[in-house]
Each structure stands twice: as C-alpha cells, then as structure tokens.
A and B are shown apart, each in its own frame.
Chain A
C-alpha cells in the first residue's frame, strides 16, 4: 500500500465533504444547536410543568363512615388540583347493582369520568363489623393514561386511610403502632459526590456518543460510495493507479474523521449545555438535580474518546462496506438503516439493569466497549483493567473483519458495477436451475442458513410444549434435525446445484484423517466443558430455563444409552455437518472465502442452538469444525469429530449421575469437584489440550487433497456487472 496515495485520497475526500453544506450542517452545526435547543426546551417545560387533574366519580360517598372520611372537606379542597371529585348517592334513582355497573362502565368508557369509585350500602356494615373487608369497586380504563393516573391517586388515598385506621386500631388495643415497622435500616451512602454524578453520565454518554458515531459515519459513507457511483467518478478513480485497498483506506479515514468529529462535537456540546442547564436548575431550587447530575469531569471525556476511536473505525468500515452495495444515495440510505437497527441493540444492551462488565459482557462487540467506558468513568479502574484485554481483542478483531469486508466489497465487480435488474420470480428460478454448478453460491449458502434458523425458530416454538416423555422428546429432536436443519439444505442442494454429493461436500477422506478427527473429538471434550462452564458462569441461566433443562436431563438419563447416542450424537452430527459444514460452508468458500466460510458457518451453527449459553459454546465449536471441514476437504472428518464429541457428552453425563459407573481404568481422567460433581481431572485437561493442538497441527500441515484445491478455483458464478 502506498501511504501517500491514501493520504491524497483522504485529504481530497475530506475537503470534498467539508465543502458540502448539507454534510457540514448535519455533522457539525446540528450538534452545536441541538443541545442548547433541547436545554432551552427543558427549562421551558420545567417552568410550566404541572400535573393534570383527574376526574373521579364516587358513588356511595354517603355509605362511607362519617367519623373516618376518605376525603375530608379540607382534603378535597387541597387535592382539588389533582382530583376533581363528583359525588353521587348510591341510593339515587333506586338503581340496582347491575345498573350501577352499567353506569360506571359507560361513564369511564365515554370519558365522562376517569374513574368511578363505588362504595355500596354494605360498606358501612362491613366497617362496623370489622371482620370483613370493605366491598369497594373501582372502574377504570387501562388503555387511558388519565384513568391509570386516577387509579394511582385513589389508591394512594385508600392506602393512607388504611394506615391511619390500623394505627388507631392498635392504639385502641393498647399496642404500639410502631410494631408495624419493626426495623429501619439506616442507609449510609459512601459514594463520593463526584462518583454519583458520574453514574448518570456514565450510562448516558457512551450511548449518546456511539449513536452519533454511527450516525456520523452514515452520510459520508453514502456519499463516498453510492454518491461516487451516481456521479460516475468511481469508475475513473478505479482506473487510476490507486489500488482498491488504498481507495478503501483513504475513504475509511474520511468516514472515521466525520464519525469521530460528530461524536466528539456532540459530547462537548452536551457537556457544555448540560452544565449550564444543571446550574440553572440548581438556582431554581432543584438541588437534587445538581447532586445527581453534576458537570462531567474532563477525564471522563478522555476515556470516552479513547473508546470512540476503535468504535468509529468499526462503524465506518461497516458503513462503507454496506454503502458500497448501493447504486445511489437514496439506495444507500435504505441499506444503512438495517445496519443502524442491528447496531443499536448492542449500544442499548449496557443500559439494561444489572448489566455490568464481566468476562461474558466484555466479549460482546460494542457492548463490551460501552461497559468498559462506563467502568472507567465511574473510576472502577481495576475492573476496567481486568476486562480491557478482552474488549480490546474483540474490538480489534471486529475492526479488522469490518475493514476486510469493506476492501472485499470494493474488489468485487459484482458490487462495484451492479445495476438494477427487474426481478421476476420465474426468471430467477429458471436461472438458478440453468446455472447450477457443483456447489452452492455464497448467496445461496446464506439463504440456506437463514431458512434453517427461521425453520428452527418456528419449529422449536411449536414443539416446545410437547416434551413429555423420552419417546416424544426423541421424536421431536429427530424431526427438528431432519425437517428443519437437513430438510431445507437438501431441498436447496437438489434444486440449486448439479451434484448433491459435491454440494454437501461428501468427499472421500484418508482413514488416518478420520482417526485424527475422532481423537480430536475426544481430546477437545474437556476443554469444551470448561468453556461451557465458563459461559454458564458469565451468562447465568434463568431459573425457568434451568428447570426445563433439569427435566430434560432427567428424561435423557432414564432413556437407553443406544437411543440417546442415536438422537444426540449420530443424527445431529450427520444433519448439522451436512448442512453447516457441507452446503453452507461450501457455498461460502466460493471465491477464496475460507475465513468467511469458517466464521459465518460457525455463527449459523451457534445460533441454531436455542439457548444463548449453548449458542456461544457451539459457535466456538463451529470454528473448530469449520477448520477441519476446510483442511480435510469434506464433511466426513467433521461428522466424526462432532459425533464423538456429542457421544462423549452423553456418556460422561451418565457418569455424572452415577459416579461409580466410571470404569476403573478411566478413573484417572475424572475427579470430584467441591460441589460433589464429576468433572475431568486437571491432568487429563492439560493432556487433552496438548493432544488437541497436535491434532490441529495434523490437519493444518496435512497435504492438500484434490477437493481442497478444487474449492479454491471454483468459478465466479455470483459475478455480475453491467455492460
């Protein structure tokens, strides 16, 4: 790569964007105006904010004990601002219960009253009797905010009345009313004022910053890709000596600059405005606002900017890669919207209650970075330091993958010179049939993955209530494997490819490879269990799910071993490997997409496991199986590893139930944990890791077979450009 060319492209693009008034307004002027405007609005609203009164009709006020009124005359006047009472006698017009019911329902329904409160003639009797609860009725409309507020305000009144009544009853009975509240724990808040002030900002600012970083990358990315296509300038740029990689880096730096600038400007504008507004609120008497939301320390802004740089790189590369697909600026906006929708949950996830920095959360892209920023702002440096390597590692990997995707988009003729085609189902199906090759295309592989996931979602949802016995459970599992995983894959392979065997990558393998695959299945098992245990520790399974899993474990433990192995080892290994490492992997491998094939197929494989904790562990296992699928040139070795691994899981889980069943000659491999559970011994864990590394080395350095070479030279079926 020629750095001077990258600099040249970067400076040109930057200058071009700076000269665009619309971009400048959106990215630079808007943030500077937005927060002062919002602050002004808040001050205005705060000055004129008032709670609206609600209308409550009380039928049977005359039935209420007169010596203990619910609404005294003075209360009624005081609360006149919040509750406007209308009183009706229960005896009025000689209405029956059903008449009052109809009346109250209509009154609330038509909006004549926000709430109707009925105290019938039995109330007074019940009150005097003191052995019965007062038979009161409240008619409200849950769909109306005013009605809900009216209910809350009435309930507050009723609660107060009850408390007062109970207190008097206790006093009458010569009991101390304080027995109702036997303890009061004194709360001593040790958090320094600055930390408390930072707490609110630490949650709010990373969110605001990343949303703006994402938004700031959008418009330049669209203009630099789709805009260039629209103007025809991309063609001349591509015919210049600048390589595609140099062009991408030049553009990426520009998009990043705008992404960072937008986020930073927003931060500073927000900081400046909030300081001013908080100061004004404090002067107006709202001291609690000043106590909880003081001005943000500058050190916090520094931490945010440190986190912002890699995030902006990732967002910019993703925006550039997606925008490259578009033929026009308008189309670019359509394409980038899903990216925003996909990115927002990761930004919003840290806002969830109880979400803190942990090994698990720090491994989630974007979310981990937000949590790290929060920890740094809150001054939890030790926590931040422990998790920083994971966050940095994940972020760097995501950045590299995003940049790589962007470069590949620019290298693809299909993407760069795509033109609109009128879509016709008949033509599309005809073309797929006519253009069938040995393997699926990358698009067909992605489609297959998505179809499988959707089928699994609906299939598992509809079958989840049918788990009653082992037979039922086994039938359901087999139906899912055959009908929702292998089924769609087979249909697509038959329809979209010319060779079922090659599409599913059923290739002959050397017996020694098969042996090594089985050894790998055995040797990986302890490490996989450790990983699963770690994942379950970091992402705690909910009580309900745990209960269901416990029931399933019970059902499996009671079933014959041969049938358990058939259902959980043999069938899944065959179905899942043919689908994920066969059809999907083979399609994604087209055009030297080996890394893409391994990563994407492992993600599909992971997501196909219903429980999140399983999905994470399975995704990691998917990477291993993908590596084997690539190096062995087919699915058979993967099936062997998968089958061995699943089979071992089933067998070991049985040892766990009956520890005496561990064969004596295998006892050195197991030990009992402090929780009384059977697990692999440290000696076997260490040994198995060494064996696994040797197995990986075997596959990594084995001579390439014809099938591997053939995959790397398969034609570019997906190429498309316009004459």
Chain B
C-alpha cells in the first residue's frame, strides 16, 4: 500500500537568468511504509523543490501529491501531521536547548506535554543524545545538531520522513551515524524520502531510487532493476550514462 503518491508533479516560475523556468517537470513516483526512496540527482536537478512541495512549503503548479491519504494542497494540515521534514541545513534555533526545541515542535503539532516528555525521552535515548538535552543548539557540533534536527522531525511520530540532502556538510563519522539512524527508522516502518547527490549513500541505504535531472525523473527502480535495465553494474557509471543520454536525447530518455 503506497503511503506517498506523486503524480505528474510540476513546478514552474519566472526566473531572471533562465526565463520561464520549470524546476520540476511532470514527475511521478510512489513510496511505501518501511521503504527508503532515494531521490538522486546533481545540484539544480529539482530535488529540493520537489521535496518542498511534498512538505507543503511550496504549492505545485500542476499535478498531485497524496501523503497518508491526504492531498498536499487541499489537506495540507493533514499532510503536515504525517510528515517530518529534515532540511539540508540543521535549521535549529541557536539560543534554544535541544529539549526546548523538540518540545516546541511537539507543541506546534498539538501534542499534550506529558506525551511530548515521554517521546523526547524515547527519541533522545534512541538517538543517544540524552547528554545534550539541555545544551543550547548554538553550542553543539554539526553531528549533534543533525540529531536534534531528526528528533524534531520525529516528535509527532510521522509515518513519512523527508530528508533533503541531510548529509551535506557532515564528516564521515556523523554521516555514517545518520545513515544508521535512517536505516533504523526504516526498520520502525517509516517511509523515508531521502534526497542526495552522493551515490554511495544511495547504494548503501535506498531500497529504490529515482534519478532526477533537469527537473525530470529519468528512471525509477531498485538498484538491481536499474543495473539489469541498463546493463551496467557500476552505479556511478549508470548514473552518468543516464545523464549523458538525457543531454543528447532529452525527449526520449525520460522514464
């Protein structure tokens, strides 16, 4: 049963340098609970715009998004309760402690204080961040900040988690810990949409991958499916082949 359904999603806007610019061009994909869908693409492929539309921050120009049975445009409130959004920077309030910040977002989701405290205790324990609960976010390391950011996204126990290039700027150790956390969330039955431009992360983590380029999804599938389809075992080579083919034949290369 799909928990995320994206159909013919398009976002366009006028742009001074590029004229009328189509950031996301008629993309469609689906994702299920307990699955990590990787959205892989180079910078400027339209990943952030697509995920911003999924998280109801932007309104689509056309197409539809259904998350947990609710439409992202007409039932945005329902969708926001079903998603946790982790952006490509840690996006924390420097002058708040980790606990205050997570409590704040729990309150915005309308959770009662006792439940918030209970969940904070569980999440902090699971993410091994009890010791930083009372530390102001401004004094934390990047890895700690990323943990707080994930705890913030998990406080209302959403069935869908959206990670927008969450590993950008993290060192190897922290990035590895993040991958482990995301994998454990999959085990907990969460549906995870994970955008990245790092192929190794996709190979290690994602159940399925959607390759985005110039606002379009060039192809979607599991890694073995893609390898079989393009007769290419090296994923990096496969990725570049797809992009090159699209550059040469833009109209015929889209899945």
A residues whose Cβ falls under 8 Å from a Cβ of B = 2, 4-5, 8-9, 12, 15-16, 19-20, 231-233, 235-236, 238-243, 413, 417, 421-424, 427-428, 430-431, 434-435, 717-723
Contacts and interface: CB of A to CB of B under 8 A. Distances in A.
Given A422-B17, A431-B19, A239 B85 contact: yes
B58 A417 contact: yes
30 contacts: A5-B108, A12-B104, A15-B96, A16-B96, A20-B95, A231-B94, A232-B91, A233-B93, A236-B87, A239-B55, A239-B80, A240-B108, A241-B109, A243-B77, A413-B59, A417-B58, A427-B16, A430-B19, A431-B14, A431-B16, A431-B19, A435-B19, A718-B14, A720-B14, A721-B13, A721-B49, A721-B58, A723-B24, A723-B44, A723-B48
A235 B91 contact: yes
A430 B18 CA distance: 10
Contact of A241 (B44, B77, B89): B77
Interface residues of B, number: 43
Nearest to A416: B57
B27 to A, nearest CB: 13
Contacts of B16: 421-424, 427-428, 431
A428 B15 CA distance: 9
Contacts of B55: 239
Contacts of A20: 95
The secondary structure that dominates the A interface is loop
Given A5-B107, A236-B91, 10 more contacts: A2-B110, A8-B108, A15-B95, A232-B87, A233-B91, A236-B152, A240-B109, A241-B110, A430-B19, A435-B20
A243 B57 CA distance: 11
A128 B120 CA distance: 105
A434 B19 CA distance: 8
Contacts of B57: 235, 238-239, 417
A268 to B, nearest CB: 27
Interface in B143-165: 149, 152
Interface in B91-139: 91-96, 104-105, 107-110
Interface of B: 13-17, 19-20, 23-24, 44, 46, 48-49, 52, 55-59, 77, 80-81, 83, 85, 87-96, 104-105, 107-110, 149, 152, 215
Contacts of B95: 15-16, 19-20
Which of B23, B77, B95 has most A Cβ within 10 Å? B95
Contact of B104 (A8, A231, A241, A723): A8
Nearest to A717: B14
A169 B44 CA distance: 97
A541 B44 CA distance: 61
A719 B46 CA distance: 17
Contacts, number: 107
A722 B52 CA distance: 10
Nearest to A422: B17
Given A231-B91, A238-B57, A240-B80, A720 B15 contact: yes
B14 A421 contact: no
A432 to B, nearest CB: 10
A240 B81 CA distance: 8
B14 to A, nearest CB: 6
Nearest to A20: B95
Nearest to A247: B108
A422 to B, nearest CB: 7
Contacts of B83: 239
Given A240-B80, A240-B105, A242-B108, A231 B93 contact: yes
A428 B19 CA distance: 9
Given A241-B77, A417-B58, A427 B17 contact: yes
Instruction: Give the 7 A-B CB pairs with smallest separation, nearest first.
Output: A232-B91, A723-B23, A232-B89, A19-B95, A421-B16, A239-B55, A723-B49
Contacts of B91: 231-233, 235-236
A434 B20 CA distance: 9
Contacts of B24: 723
A421 B17 contact: yes
A717 B58 CA distance: 15
A431 B57 CA distance: 26
Contacts of A243: 77
Contacts of B23: 723
A544 B110 CA distance: 66
B214 to A, nearest CB: 11
Contacts of B80: 239-241
Contacts of B19: 430-431, 434-435
Which of B16, B46, B87, B94 has most A Cβ within 10 Å? B16
A12 B152 CA distance: 15
Contacts of A12: 93, 96, 104
Contact of A421 (B15, B20, B104, B152): B15
Contacts of A422: 16-17
B179 to A, nearest CB: 21
Contacts of A236: 85, 87, 91, 105, 149, 152
A122 to B, nearest CB: 77
A83 to B, nearest CB: 63
A230 to B, nearest CB: 10
A241 B76 CA distance: 8
A721 B88 CA distance: 17
Contacts of B56: 239
Contacts of A5: 107-108, 110
Which of B15, B20, B92 has most A Cβ within 10 Å? B15
Contacts of A232: 87-91
B175 to A, nearest CB: 19
B44 to A, nearest CB: 6
A722 B88 CA distance: 14
A19 B85 CA distance: 27
Contact of A8 (B77, B89, B96, B107): B107
A235 B107 CA distance: 17
A723 B215 CA distance: 9
A16 B93 contact: yes
A387 to B, nearest CB: 43
B82 to A, nearest CB: 10
Nearest to A237: B108
A422 B18 CA distance: 11
A437 to B, nearest CB: 11
Contact of B87 (A235, A417, A424, A428): A235
A397 B59 CA distance: 31
B116 to A, nearest CB: 12
A316 B172 CA distance: 45
Which of B14, B19, B104 has most A Cβ within 10 Å? B14
A243 B16 CA distance: 30
Given A231-B91, A233-B93, A239-B57, A719 B108 contact: no
Contacts of B149: 236
Contacts of B13: 413, 719-721
